[in-house]
Structure 1
Amino acid sequence: MSDALEKAEAAVKEASVDTAAVQLAFAAMELAKMAQQQPAAQPHACDHQHKQGRGTGEWLAIGCAVCVGGVGIAFASIAIAIGGISVAILALVLRSIWTDIRKGK
């Protein structure tokens, strides 16, 4: 610890002797203070119109439309599956009838 203290004391003595360095440090501090006191420059406002984001009502409408569409697709898939099973059963029945007719029963 005393080593660090001795280095600090030597730096203070050197800075107090070197008045040009001290003056530069004070000038830099004053410049920094002045820069902080000046108001920040306002960004240039755009001349074109920005599109507003979607509101809550729009998002709710989109969500409802997606849900209704999903239910519609589900019912359509069930209807296609039932139709496919009906066609398969009909094909088996007709094949059985055709086989019986060809054998002469």
Structure 2
Amino acid sequence: MLNTPRDIKIYLCTGCTDMRKGINGLSVLAQRLLSEAFASGGMFIFRGKQADKVKLLWWDGQGFCLFYKCLDRGKFTWPKSKDQGTLGITRAQLSMLLEGIDWRSPKWSQPPKYSG
């Protein structure tokens, strides 16, 4: 589970990002996109071209943290934009995004099956 501070600003970086980039490359990209949020400790989410991988980058006060998730099946829901920009999302939307749920209009793709 990813535990983020309640007051952190979360920015979805639209477009696709080269997933070979590490902390240094992503931090330069984040700083270019939104320098004021970068300095105040925002979290940046990047998605790869195949849409099955995301990387989250944030500053925790001591250094950069990098979280990487790759889906076995399916794709991460992302805004349609070829331009590189940012879109603010909530912590709840981030949770849905990381679970592979369409965070823009949340609904179960497959309802849970209960055993009893």
Q: TM-score, normalised by structure 2?
A: 0.17
User: Relative to total residues, which structure has the larger strand share, 1 or 2?
Assistant: 2
Q: Name which one, 1 or 2, has greater alpha-carbon Rg.
A: 1
Between Structure 1 and Structure 2, the one with more helix by share is 1
> Which structure has the higher relative contact order (CA within 8 Å, separation 6+)?
2
